[in-house]
Amino acid sequence: MKPTKIADGIYDVGVIDWNIRDFHGYSTDRGTSYNAFLVIDEKVALIDTVKAPFADQLIGNISQIIDPRKIDVVVSNHTEMDHSGSLPHIMHRIGEEKPLYCSKLGAQNLVSHFSNNWNYHPVKEGEDLRLGARTLTFMETRMIHWPDSMFTYLKEDHILFSSDGFGQHYAGFDKFDDQAGADLMVQAKKYFANILLLYAPRILNLIEKVVASGIRIDMICPDHGVIWRKDPGRIIDAYLRWSRQETEKKAVVIYDTMWKSTETMANAIAEGISSTGVNVKPIHIRSSHRSDIMTDVLDAAAVVVGSPTLNNQMFPTVADVLIYMKGLKPANKIGGAFGSYGWSGEAVKLVAEELEAMKFKMVAPGPRLQYVPDDAGKAACIEYGRQIGEAVNAG
Protein backbone atom coordinates (compact mmCIF):
# COMPACT_ATOMS: atom_id res chain seq x y z
CA MET A 1 0.00 0.00 0.00
CA LYS A 2 1.22 3.48 -0.80
CA PRO A 3 1.82 5.59 2.30
CA THR A 4 -0.45 8.62 2.65
CA LYS A 5 1.29 11.99 2.74
CA ILE A 6 -0.26 14.06 5.51
CA ALA A 7 2.00 17.10 5.32
CA ASP A 8 5.57 17.79 4.17
CA GLY A 9 7.69 15.06 5.71
CA ILE A 10 4.77 13.44 7.55
CA TYR A 11 3.21 10.19 6.36
CA ASP A 12 0.67 7.60 7.44
CA VAL A 13 2.55 4.35 6.92
CA GLY A 14 -0.14 2.20 8.52
CA VAL A 15 -2.19 -0.63 7.04
CA ILE A 16 -5.80 -1.44 6.21
CA ASP A 17 -7.47 -4.51 7.69
CA TRP A 18 -10.28 -4.87 5.18
CA ASN A 19 -11.67 -8.16 6.42
CA ILE A 20 -11.81 -7.96 10.19
CA ARG A 21 -15.43 -8.29 11.31
CA ASP A 22 -15.03 -8.97 15.03
CA PHE A 23 -12.70 -6.84 17.11
CA HIS A 24 -12.79 -8.54 20.51
CA GLY A 25 -16.57 -8.60 20.48
CA TYR A 26 -17.15 -5.33 18.58
CA SER A 27 -18.61 -5.84 15.08
CA THR A 28 -16.36 -4.08 12.58
CA ASP A 29 -18.61 -4.24 9.55
CA ARG A 30 -16.46 -1.63 7.74
CA GLY A 31 -13.14 -3.29 8.62
CA THR A 32 -10.54 -1.03 10.18
CA SER A 33 -7.09 0.45 9.75
CA TYR A 34 -4.07 0.52 12.04
CA ASN A 35 -2.47 3.89 11.39
CA ALA A 36 1.19 4.56 12.11
CA PHE A 37 2.96 7.83 11.41
CA LEU A 38 6.39 8.71 10.16
CA VAL A 39 7.78 12.20 10.88
CA ILE A 40 10.93 13.03 8.97
CA ASP A 41 13.22 15.73 10.33
CA GLU A 42 16.88 15.74 11.40
CA LYS A 43 15.70 12.83 13.49
CA VAL A 44 13.10 10.44 12.09
CA ALA A 45 10.27 9.40 14.39
CA LEU A 46 7.79 6.55 14.00
CA ILE A 47 4.61 7.08 16.01
CA ASP A 48 2.86 3.79 16.82
CA THR A 49 2.93 0.56 14.87
CA VAL A 50 0.32 -1.96 13.65
CA LYS A 51 -1.11 -5.35 14.55
CA ALA A 52 1.52 -8.10 14.44
CA PRO A 53 0.31 -9.93 11.28
CA PHE A 54 0.77 -6.66 9.33
CA ALA A 55 4.37 -6.03 10.43
CA ASP A 56 5.86 -6.77 7.02
CA GLN A 57 3.37 -4.42 5.36
CA LEU A 58 4.35 -1.69 7.80
CA ILE A 59 8.05 -2.20 7.00
CA GLY A 60 7.20 -2.17 3.28
CA ASN A 61 5.29 1.10 3.64
CA ILE A 62 8.09 2.76 5.60
CA SER A 63 10.61 1.53 3.02
CA GLN A 64 8.78 3.44 0.29
CA ILE A 65 9.71 6.65 2.15
CA ILE A 66 12.95 5.88 3.96
CA ASP A 67 15.22 3.01 4.94
CA PRO A 68 13.61 1.76 8.20
CA ARG A 69 17.05 1.67 9.81
CA LYS A 70 17.07 5.49 9.58
CA ILE A 71 14.27 5.69 12.14
CA ASP A 72 15.87 7.34 15.20
CA VAL A 73 12.99 7.32 17.65
CA VAL A 74 9.85 5.25 18.17
CA VAL A 75 6.84 6.62 20.05
CA SER A 76 4.29 4.20 21.50
CA ASN A 77 1.14 6.09 22.48
CA HIS A 78 -0.67 2.95 23.66
CA THR A 79 0.24 -0.65 24.47
CA GLU A 80 -2.85 -2.46 23.11
CA MET A 81 -1.56 -4.91 20.55
CA ASP A 82 -3.36 -3.50 17.53
CA HIS A 83 -0.80 -0.67 17.85
CA SER A 84 2.14 -2.36 19.53
CA GLY A 85 2.03 -5.85 18.02
CA SER A 86 4.67 -4.99 15.40
CA LEU A 87 7.04 -3.31 17.87
CA PRO A 88 9.28 -6.39 18.30
CA HIS A 89 9.63 -6.60 14.51
CA ILE A 90 10.29 -2.86 14.17
CA MET A 91 12.76 -2.64 17.06
CA HIS A 92 14.66 -5.63 15.74
CA ARG A 93 14.79 -4.06 12.28
CA ILE A 94 15.81 -0.53 13.27
CA GLY A 95 18.11 -1.48 16.15
CA GLU A 96 17.03 -2.33 19.69
CA GLU A 97 19.21 0.46 21.10
CA LYS A 98 16.98 3.13 19.54
CA PRO A 99 14.96 5.11 22.12
CA LEU A 100 11.33 4.16 22.64
CA TYR A 101 9.20 7.01 24.03
CA CYS A 102 6.07 6.09 25.92
CA SER A 103 4.27 6.89 29.16
CA LYS A 104 5.62 5.53 32.43
CA LEU A 105 2.84 2.94 32.52
CA GLY A 106 3.44 2.30 28.83
CA ALA A 107 6.99 1.17 29.64
CA GLN A 108 5.69 -1.19 32.33
CA ASN A 109 2.96 -2.54 30.08
CA LEU A 110 5.23 -3.04 27.09
CA VAL A 111 7.56 -5.12 29.25
CA SER A 112 4.53 -7.14 30.42
CA HIS A 113 3.51 -7.75 26.82
CA PHE A 114 6.84 -8.41 25.16
CA SER A 115 9.30 -9.32 27.94
CA ASN A 116 11.97 -7.14 26.39
CA ASN A 117 14.72 -4.80 27.45
CA TRP A 118 14.22 -1.97 25.00
CA ASN A 119 15.69 1.51 25.52
CA TYR A 120 12.63 3.01 27.19
CA HIS A 121 12.21 6.74 27.67
CA PRO A 122 9.17 7.14 29.91
CA VAL A 123 7.90 10.70 29.39
CA LYS A 124 6.33 13.25 31.70
CA GLU A 125 3.19 15.24 30.94
CA GLY A 126 4.13 18.09 28.58
CA GLU A 127 7.65 16.79 27.90
CA ASP A 128 9.14 17.84 24.54
CA LEU A 129 11.26 15.88 22.12
CA ARG A 130 13.09 17.96 19.52
CA LEU A 131 13.43 16.24 16.16
CA GLY A 132 15.12 19.18 14.46
CA ALA A 133 12.82 21.88 13.17
CA ARG A 134 9.92 20.00 14.69
CA THR A 135 8.97 19.18 18.27
CA LEU A 136 6.87 16.36 19.66
CA THR A 137 5.06 17.08 22.92
CA PHE A 138 3.63 14.23 24.98
CA MET A 139 0.25 14.51 26.70
CA GLU A 140 -0.81 12.02 29.33
CA THR A 141 -4.33 10.68 28.67
CA ARG A 142 -4.47 7.96 31.30
CA MET A 143 -7.53 5.68 31.00
CA ILE A 144 -8.45 7.03 27.57
CA HIS A 145 -8.71 4.20 27.26
CA TRP A 146 -5.88 2.22 28.92
CA PRO A 147 -3.71 3.20 31.88
CA ASP A 148 -0.77 3.71 29.49
CA SER A 149 -2.55 5.85 26.90
CA MET A 150 -1.04 9.15 25.78
CA PHE A 151 -1.35 11.57 22.87
CA THR A 152 1.55 13.10 20.95
CA TYR A 153 1.30 16.65 19.60
CA LEU A 154 3.45 17.97 16.78
CA LYS A 155 3.85 21.58 17.85
CA GLU A 156 4.98 23.36 14.70
CA ASP A 157 2.39 21.62 12.46
CA HIS A 158 -0.42 21.66 15.05
CA ILE A 159 -1.08 17.96 14.49
CA LEU A 160 -2.44 15.75 17.26
CA PHE A 161 -1.60 12.04 17.10
CA SER A 162 -4.46 10.84 19.25
CA SER A 163 -4.01 7.07 19.54
CA ASP A 164 -7.51 5.53 19.84
CA GLY A 165 -9.14 8.90 20.54
CA PHE A 166 -11.28 10.28 17.68
CA GLY A 167 -10.83 6.98 15.81
CA GLN A 168 -13.27 4.89 13.82
CA HIS A 169 -13.20 1.31 12.64
CA TYR A 170 -13.38 2.39 9.01
CA ALA A 171 -11.32 0.80 6.27
CA GLY A 172 -10.84 2.72 3.05
CA PHE A 173 -8.50 4.45 0.65
CA ASP A 174 -10.39 7.62 1.59
CA LYS A 175 -7.96 8.56 4.35
CA PHE A 176 -9.26 12.05 5.19
CA ASP A 177 -12.55 13.34 6.60
CA ASP A 178 -13.22 15.40 3.47
CA GLN A 179 -13.01 12.23 1.36
CA ALA A 180 -15.07 9.85 3.51
CA GLY A 181 -18.84 9.56 3.11
CA ALA A 182 -21.71 9.87 5.56
CA ASP A 183 -20.81 6.58 7.23
CA LEU A 184 -17.81 8.27 8.85
CA MET A 185 -19.73 9.86 11.72
CA VAL A 186 -21.77 6.66 12.18
CA GLN A 187 -18.55 4.71 12.67
CA ALA A 188 -17.05 7.43 14.90
CA LYS A 189 -20.17 7.31 17.07
CA LYS A 190 -20.07 3.52 17.24
CA TYR A 191 -16.41 3.68 18.26
CA PHE A 192 -17.12 6.14 21.06
CA ALA A 193 -20.18 4.19 22.29
CA ASN A 194 -18.30 0.90 22.49
CA ILE A 195 -14.71 1.82 23.35
CA LEU A 196 -14.74 5.17 25.10
CA LEU A 197 -18.13 5.77 26.73
CA LEU A 198 -16.95 4.22 29.98
CA TYR A 199 -14.37 7.01 30.25
CA ALA A 200 -16.70 9.86 29.21
CA PRO A 201 -15.99 12.03 32.30
CA ARG A 202 -12.22 11.84 31.68
CA ILE A 203 -12.67 12.63 27.99
CA LEU A 204 -14.83 15.63 28.78
CA ASN A 205 -12.26 16.85 31.25
CA LEU A 206 -9.43 16.40 28.75
CA ILE A 207 -11.20 18.19 25.91
CA GLU A 208 -12.23 21.08 28.14
CA LYS A 209 -8.64 21.37 29.38
CA VAL A 210 -7.25 21.36 25.83
CA VAL A 211 -9.83 23.91 24.63
CA ALA A 212 -9.10 26.15 27.64
CA SER A 213 -5.35 25.95 26.96
CA GLY A 214 -5.85 27.40 23.48
CA ILE A 215 -3.71 24.70 21.85
CA ARG A 216 -4.21 24.99 18.11
CA ILE A 217 -5.23 21.72 16.42
CA ASP A 218 -5.21 21.80 12.63
CA MET A 219 -5.31 18.04 12.17
CA ILE A 220 -6.15 14.99 14.27
CA CYS A 221 -4.49 11.71 13.33
CA PRO A 222 -6.07 8.77 15.18
CA ASP A 223 -4.70 5.24 15.04
CA HIS A 224 -7.88 3.91 13.39
CA GLY A 225 -9.77 5.20 10.37
CA VAL A 226 -9.63 8.58 8.70
CA ILE A 227 -7.60 11.65 9.59
CA TRP A 228 -9.54 14.77 10.55
CA ARG A 229 -7.89 17.49 8.42
CA LYS A 230 -10.77 19.53 7.00
CA ASP A 231 -12.81 19.92 10.13
CA PRO A 232 -11.25 18.53 13.32
CA GLY A 233 -13.76 20.66 15.23
CA ARG A 234 -16.53 18.40 13.94
CA ILE A 235 -15.26 15.37 15.82
CA ILE A 236 -14.23 17.43 18.87
CA ASP A 237 -17.78 18.85 19.09
CA ALA A 238 -19.25 15.35 18.71
CA TYR A 239 -16.96 14.09 21.51
CA LEU A 240 -18.15 16.93 23.73
CA ARG A 241 -21.79 15.92 23.12
CA TRP A 242 -21.12 12.21 23.56
CA SER A 243 -18.97 12.60 26.64
CA ARG A 244 -21.61 14.82 28.25
CA GLN A 245 -24.02 11.96 27.40
CA GLU A 246 -26.48 14.37 25.79
CA THR A 247 -29.60 12.57 24.62
CA GLU A 248 -32.01 13.08 21.75
CA LYS A 249 -35.80 12.74 21.75
CA LYS A 250 -35.38 9.09 21.02
CA ALA A 251 -36.17 5.72 22.62
CA VAL A 252 -34.95 2.20 21.98
CA VAL A 253 -36.99 -0.91 22.79
CA ILE A 254 -34.47 -3.73 23.06
CA TYR A 255 -35.87 -7.24 23.38
CA ASP A 256 -35.59 -10.92 22.66
CA THR A 257 -38.51 -13.25 22.23
CA MET A 258 -39.24 -16.99 22.26
CA TRP A 259 -42.76 -17.34 20.79
CA LYS A 260 -43.27 -13.72 19.64
CA SER A 261 -45.17 -12.64 22.76
CA THR A 262 -42.40 -10.33 24.04
CA GLU A 263 -42.02 -9.09 20.47
CA THR A 264 -45.72 -8.26 20.30
CA MET A 265 -45.32 -6.34 23.56
CA ALA A 266 -42.21 -4.54 22.24
CA ASN A 267 -44.05 -3.38 19.14
CA ALA A 268 -47.04 -2.19 21.17
CA ILE A 269 -44.75 -0.27 23.55
CA ALA A 270 -42.98 1.27 20.55
CA GLU A 271 -46.39 2.28 19.15
CA GLY A 272 -47.22 3.98 22.44
CA ILE A 273 -43.88 5.82 22.52
CA SER A 274 -44.29 6.91 18.92
CA SER A 275 -47.77 8.31 19.67
CA THR A 276 -46.06 10.96 21.85
CA GLY A 277 -43.88 12.19 19.00
CA VAL A 278 -40.73 10.52 20.29
CA ASN A 279 -38.57 8.73 17.74
CA VAL A 280 -38.49 5.03 18.64
CA LYS A 281 -36.63 1.99 17.39
CA PRO A 282 -37.55 -1.59 18.36
CA ILE A 283 -34.40 -3.74 18.31
CA HIS A 284 -34.56 -7.54 18.27
CA ILE A 285 -31.33 -8.58 19.99
CA ARG A 286 -30.70 -11.56 17.74
CA SER A 287 -31.04 -9.34 14.67
CA SER A 288 -28.55 -6.76 15.91
CA HIS A 289 -25.00 -6.92 17.21
CA ARG A 290 -24.52 -5.71 20.77
CA SER A 291 -22.10 -3.03 19.56
CA ASP A 292 -24.75 -1.64 17.20
CA ILE A 293 -27.30 -1.72 20.00
CA MET A 294 -24.89 0.25 22.18
CA THR A 295 -24.48 2.83 19.41
CA ASP A 296 -28.24 3.39 19.47
CA VAL A 297 -28.26 3.53 23.25
CA LEU A 298 -25.61 6.29 23.33
CA ASP A 299 -27.94 9.17 22.50
CA ALA A 300 -31.30 7.58 23.39
CA ALA A 301 -33.26 9.30 26.17
CA ALA A 302 -35.14 6.08 27.01
CA VAL A 303 -33.94 2.49 27.05
CA VAL A 304 -36.71 -0.07 27.42
CA VAL A 305 -35.72 -3.72 27.70
CA GLY A 306 -37.95 -6.75 27.25
CA SER A 307 -37.29 -10.39 28.06
CA PRO A 308 -39.15 -13.66 28.24
CA THR A 309 -38.53 -15.77 31.32
CA LEU A 310 -36.45 -18.88 30.66
CA ASN A 311 -35.52 -21.26 33.46
CA ASN A 312 -36.50 -18.63 36.05
CA GLN A 313 -34.04 -16.16 34.52
CA MET A 314 -34.03 -13.42 31.93
CA PHE A 315 -33.27 -14.70 28.42
CA PRO A 316 -29.47 -15.23 28.03
CA THR A 317 -29.14 -12.80 25.10
CA VAL A 318 -30.81 -10.08 27.16
CA ALA A 319 -28.32 -10.71 29.97
CA ASP A 320 -25.49 -10.41 27.45
CA VAL A 321 -26.67 -6.98 26.27
CA LEU A 322 -27.34 -5.74 29.80
CA ILE A 323 -23.95 -6.76 31.16
CA TYR A 324 -22.23 -5.18 28.15
CA MET A 325 -24.26 -1.98 28.55
CA LYS A 326 -23.62 -1.82 32.29
CA GLY A 327 -19.85 -1.98 31.77
CA LEU A 328 -19.95 1.00 29.41
CA LYS A 329 -21.82 3.14 31.98
CA PRO A 330 -24.45 4.95 29.92
CA ALA A 331 -26.03 7.80 31.90
CA ASN A 332 -29.03 10.14 31.77
CA LYS A 333 -31.51 7.45 30.71
CA ILE A 334 -35.14 6.77 31.38
CA GLY A 335 -35.55 3.02 31.84
CA GLY A 336 -38.29 0.47 31.36
CA ALA A 337 -38.62 -3.31 31.64
CA PHE A 338 -41.27 -5.66 30.32
CA GLY A 339 -41.77 -9.23 29.17
CA SER A 340 -43.96 -12.27 28.76
CA TYR A 341 -43.76 -15.48 30.71
CA GLY A 342 -45.36 -18.91 31.02
CA TRP A 343 -45.54 -19.71 34.75
CA SER A 344 -42.83 -18.19 36.98
CA GLY A 345 -42.07 -14.84 35.26
CA GLU A 346 -38.98 -13.52 37.04
CA ALA A 347 -37.40 -11.83 33.99
CA VAL A 348 -39.10 -8.42 34.22
CA LYS A 349 -38.02 -7.93 37.83
CA LEU A 350 -34.47 -9.07 37.03
CA VAL A 351 -34.21 -6.74 34.03
CA ALA A 352 -35.59 -3.82 36.06
CA GLU A 353 -32.99 -4.48 38.77
CA GLU A 354 -30.18 -4.30 36.20
CA LEU A 355 -31.48 -1.01 34.77
CA GLU A 356 -31.89 0.43 38.26
CA ALA A 357 -28.31 -0.61 39.02
CA MET A 358 -27.30 1.52 36.02
CA LYS A 359 -29.15 4.42 37.67
CA PHE A 360 -31.75 4.61 34.92
CA LYS A 361 -34.85 6.54 35.99
CA MET A 362 -37.59 3.89 35.87
CA VAL A 363 -40.93 5.22 34.67
CA ALA A 364 -43.30 2.71 36.26
CA PRO A 365 -43.50 -1.07 36.74
CA GLY A 366 -43.52 -2.44 33.19
CA PRO A 367 -46.07 -4.89 31.77
CA ARG A 368 -45.57 -8.56 32.58
CA LEU A 369 -47.97 -10.75 30.61
CA GLN A 370 -48.62 -14.49 30.74
CA TYR A 371 -48.32 -16.50 27.55
CA VAL A 372 -49.83 -14.60 24.59
CA PRO A 373 -50.83 -10.92 24.95
CA ASP A 374 -54.58 -10.37 24.51
CA ASP A 375 -56.17 -7.06 23.50
CA ALA A 376 -56.11 -5.78 27.08
CA GLY A 377 -52.44 -6.75 27.40
CA LYS A 378 -51.56 -4.98 24.15
CA ALA A 379 -53.44 -1.89 25.30
CA ALA A 380 -51.46 -1.95 28.57
CA CYS A 381 -48.24 -2.04 26.56
CA ILE A 382 -49.32 0.89 24.39
CA GLU A 383 -50.18 2.85 27.54
CA TYR A 384 -46.80 1.98 29.07
CA GLY A 385 -45.08 3.20 25.90
CA ARG A 386 -47.10 6.40 26.07
CA GLN A 387 -45.92 7.00 29.64
CA ILE A 388 -42.32 6.47 28.58
CA GLY A 389 -42.75 8.86 25.64
CA GLU A 390 -44.22 11.49 27.96
CA ALA A 391 -41.32 11.07 30.34
CA VAL A 392 -38.92 11.68 27.42
CA ASN A 393 -40.88 14.77 26.36
CA ALA A 394 -40.84 16.06 29.94
CA GLY A 395 -37.06 15.91 29.58
Q: Catalytic site residues?
A: 24, 78, 80, 82, 145, 164, 191, 224
Identified binder of ligand FEO from the candidate list 140, 148, 223, 256, rule CB under 6 A: 223
Under rule CB under 6 A, residue 386 binds ligand FEO: no
Of 164, 177, 263, 296, the residue at the interface with ligand FEO (CB under 6 A) is 164
Note whether 82 binds ligand FEO by CB under 6 A: yes
Residue 233: Cβ within 10 Å count: 11
Q: How many residues make up the chain in this entry?
A: 395
For ligand FEO (CB under 6 A), the number of binding residues is 8
Burial annotation 290-329 (CB, 10 A radius, 16+ → b, else e): bbbbbbbbbbbbbbbbbbbbbeeebbebbbebbebbeebe
Q: Which is nearer to ligand FEO, 76 or 309 (CB)?
A: 76
- Total Cβ atoms within 10 A of residue 31: 17
* 78 scored as a contact of ligand FEO (CB under 6 A): yes
To the nearest whole angstrom, how small is the minimum distance from the Cβ of residue 89 to ligand FEO?
18
Give the footprint of ligand FEO on residues 126-145 (CB under 6 A). 145
Which residue of this chain has its Cβ atom nearest to ligand FEO in the complex?
80
Q: Give me the least distance between CB of 51 and ligand FEO, in Å please.
A: 9
Q: How far is the CB of 80 from ligand FEO (least distance, A)?
A: 4
Give residue 356's identity as a one-letter amino acid code: E
Instruction: Confirm or reject binding of residue 224 to ligand FEO (CB under 6 A).
Output: yes
Q: Which residues 6+ apart lie within 8 Å of 380 measured at CB?
A: 367, 369
Rounded Cα–Cα distance for residues 328 and 335 (Å): 16
Spatial distance between the Cα atoms of 189 and 208, rounded to a whole number of angstroms:
19
Site string for ligand FEO, 173-212 (x = CB under 6 A): ----------------------------------------
CA distance 75 to 48: 6
Distances in Å between the alpha carbon of 163 and those of 8, 77, 217, 223? 21, 6, 15, 5
The separation between CA 34 and the C-alpha centre of its own chain, rounded to angstroms, equals: 15
- Taking CB under 6 A as the binding criterion, the range among 77-85, 241-249, 261-269, 348-356 that sits at the site for ligand FEO is 77-85
CB of 235 to ligand FEO, least distance (A): 16
Question: Which one, 2 or 24, has the nearer CB to ligand FEO?
Answer: 24
The footprint of ligand FEO (CB under 6 A) covers 78, 80, 82-83, 145, 164, 223-224
